[in-house]
Structure 1
């Protein structure tokens, strides 16, 4: 990891400085790697110069962290981050009127490229305040967006300012999705590559504007939605000329599983998408459903929330990505690791070191393992020398990077003096920008 030559001027100054500022940027990086985010924030408060150096490091090393913005301050966990706002890449706002966030100014958030707004109410005053920030965003995530006036139109009031958006994710409890109508779906978004639209509502009402949206936005490479929308709009999907690399589908109910099989396979045969990503966030997965998933064409990613005991996932040999909530419910992980020969990435919410071992030993194409919470109390139990030895015995094995909580990463580093053994490397989860779904976002990426 390198902060980059662009930040080299941070340590240049003609005035006399403390001895520590004679260090090169690379040396600061090596030193900072031994510190926690709390330590870095404390260090950044010692002087303006150190704030700039630590800020650049935080922006790069903690690229996946979403900083929570409240009315007067910015936090990650209980750590106040106001002084480092210009180095933050991702912001999250929850349940507020946007104009009440006093510090929401473009000159304060120069690095922001992603924003998540949950249950946020928009007004003309609030949107005018964040207008300049919207222009620099690449990812916009909205959960239950609302307007103070029913006459506000989503595109005119908000989306027209998001001129660089590549990922647009919208989740709503009912239709119309945002504003008074869905005229925003009749627009063209030249930079858009990923689009998510999910809503939950009884009845057969449809969003007919989707047909025009897909007609005008053929640049979209990935589309994410839920089974309700797929089933209600199957004719639109059958007739669209869109071509996606990935279709992500969230199952609202296990009872709609069989209903979705035929339509999804037909859409795959028509060439609408190449890969299918399936999310079971809330519905309990049973063995019958697992066996049924073998009939879904193009399935490469499976996200599993709750599941019944004794689940055998080995029939899903085409999987490249697997996300698991409860490892205790899965039977015989060694057989699973040997069978899923295409697996490249596996993510556990809660796991033991013993849950990791089989995949290190038997999954040759695996390159990433993420563990949101390691159950062992002592991070030293993550023995990277032993894991590296096991990995080296596997024929044609690829290097595996294991992403762990910061305290586990630091425990390993302080105990072993390094985190890279060749076949195995340990990194902070906060540095991996691809671990979207398990960070409390519920977005289908």
Structure 2
């Protein structure tokens, strides 16, 4: 069967040629949704966005497909110029926006925020700095964010009126319950007494912060509780924060710890101290000397690997943890090294590669030899099936060339399909 697409009028047409010489034309807009979704799998995101412009029904169908299948699509960076156009968007386009990152130089007042309240009601994740809003934060902003799952407040600029105000005119917004909110971020050496009440009203939160904020507020957090504590964007001596994490964990403040901070781990004695950090779940593997060995960390499930040089030494460094690591994220990945991970990490379920370098044995152009990688995974007894997330061009090249992206022990997906 041959399928050809052409443009006729305002609707794309599909010509389907069967075994005989008879040819029939079907409008894409008349196909069942299930049929359309089978076709969408073969298209790039650029193709999907072009398709949604053809007619209203296709726009609705494509939008729903994108929202369900591609959680990373829908991130909008809003500068001053784009903010002026934001409230002029149509309802369908607004529905595609999941994340908004405010990059404006202008302070957003109550009248400006009123223009985008409909959009705020749709988004799931918002990133902004303390300096962006000086109006009352709940009434002018959060009240409209009925679907908000993540709120990330940066420290750039600080608050003008009060150094200990997180954002807005005061911290009264922290004294409320937010049923949909799952994650919140705060930074800086500011003391926030309201934080204790916030975590009591909103338990099981993912809290993202830095060492300065934790040290300033450690006396307020002994009776609070979060599900996951994420530490980010700091370069510190590991020994200086062992006691801090130990104290917070003993008081029951966090259940899992994720460290995206950058540690200089050149001395084996310093590296061994990682084992003293309670419930360490995620670690950014960075600037690690060859020959150094990570200690056994039974709670460690997720490792982020930086440059390709780090991936080359990671396997030997992680030999004490091969039995518990479930997810790897690689900023730069070597396909040969990934094959080695498949042979040695039995509980590994996800590998997310931002960019491939040194495309060697298992590549033919942009096409991955997924069948060969499947054989490598099968060599390891009782190994979990692995999902390999790659850039879209690699995924589509492999799918079109081989017609298959899922095997018994490995499956290929686009990076935009991952939730992380």
Provide TM-score, normalisation by structure 2: 0.81
Q: CA deviation at 1:285?
A: 4.4
Instruction: Give yes or no for the alignment of 1:265 onto 2:254.
Output: no
Equivalent residue for 2:7? none
Higher mean displacement: 391-400 or 374-383: 374-383
Distance 1:271 1:219, change over 3 A: closer
Equivalent residue for 1:245? 227
Instruction: Give yes or no for the alignment of 1:344 onto 2:344.
Output: no
Equivalent residue for 1:25? 33
Q: CA deviation at 1:95?
A: 5.0
Task: Please give the alpha-carbon distance, in whole angstroms, between the structure 2 residues aligned to 1:112 and 1:39.
Answer: 18
Instruction: Give yes or no for the alignment of 1:212 onto 2:197.
Output: yes
Equivalent residue for 1:286? 266
Q: CA deviation at 1:395?
A: 1.3
Equivalent residue for 1:382? 368
Task: Please give the alpha-carbon distance, in whole angstroms, between the structure 2 residues aligned to 1:105 and 1:159.
Answer: 22
Task: Please give the alpha-carbon distance, in whole angstroms, between the structure 2 residues aligned to 1:311 and 1:141.
Answer: 39
Instruction: Give yes or no for the alignment of 1:117 onto 2:117.
Output: no
Equivalent residue for 2:389? 403
Equivalent residue for 2:310? 329
Partner SS state of residue 125, structure 1? helix
Equivalent residue for 1:358? 340
**Cα pair 1:105 1:130 within 8 Å, conserved:** no
**Cα pair 2:264 2:287 within 8 Å, conserved:** yes
Distance 1:235 1:51, change over 3 A: closer
Task: Please give the alpha-carbon distance, in whole angstroms, between the structure 2 residues aligned to 1:251 and 1:258.
Answer: 17
Say what the alpha-carbon RMSD is for the aligned residues: 2.9
Q: CA deviation at 1:375?
A: 1.6
- State the structure with more CA Rg: 2
**Cα pair 1:338 1:363 within 8 Å, conserved:** no
Distance 1:368 1:237, change over 3 A: same
Equivalent residue for 1:72? none
For residues 144-189 of structure 1, what are the alpha-carbon distances to aligned partners after superposition, in whole Å with 9 as ceiling and x for unaligned?
A: 4413xx5x22122211222343322212233433223333223333
Q: Extract unaligned runs of 5+ from structure 2.
A: 1-11, 13-23
Matched residue pairs, number? 384
Q: CA deviation at 1:392?
A: 1.3
Higher mean displacement: 398-407 or 158-167: 158-167
Partner residue of 1:315 out of 286, 292, 295: 295
Q: Extract unaligned runs of 5+ from structure 1.
A: 1-10, 12-16, 68-90, 435-445
Partner SS state of residue 287, structure 2? coil
Partner residue of 2:151 out of 165, 168, 190: 168
Equivalent residue for 2:211? 227
**Cα pair 2:60 2:92 within 8 Å, conserved:** no
